[in-house]
Amino acid sequence: MSSEVTDLISALRAGTMSLDEVAQRFRERSWPETLSPDPVESRTHGGALDDPDPYVPGSFDDVSAAFHRHELTLAEYEVLAQAASDSINAADKRRRSAEADAPGSE
């Protein structure tokens, strides 16, 4: 399945984009939220919730999958993970700031 993330990784592999260019695109893009099971619910339902989270196209799942398929080196994976983390942290900071500035949030 193709997504912006898989397309960027393909461009990196093909040499049409550098690691720095792909990392910059990772910093600039929005990342979809992926939800993990509630730890309390997991304990109360035993193994029924031990299934892996569903695949989310265009999420960091695509980067992890590429790494596990040996399409990314560890160094490339670490650079891209940091870039995605930077983007997610910046989005969270903007969201918290907007919530704090919203009327009635005092």
CA dist list (Å): 34 to 46, 54, 55, 58:
21, 9, 9, 11
- The Cα–Cα gap between 56 and 58 comes to 6
**DSSP secondary-structure letter at 102?**
S
- Higher-scoring residue by pLDDT: 90, 42: 90
For every residue of 15-74, which 3-state class applies, written as one string?
CCCCHHHHHHHHHHCCCCCCCCCCHHHHHHCHHHHCCCCCCCCCCHHHHHHHHHCCCCCH
- Here the tokens at position 38 are 């509630």
Least confident of 15-19, 21-25, 72-76, 97-101: 97-101
Q: Which residue ranges make up each domain of the chain?
A: 1-30+56-106
* Average pLDDT of the segment spanning 5-17: 97
The model carries a pTM of 0.76
pLDDT tens digits, 32-59 = 877 655 555 555 555 555 666 788 889 9
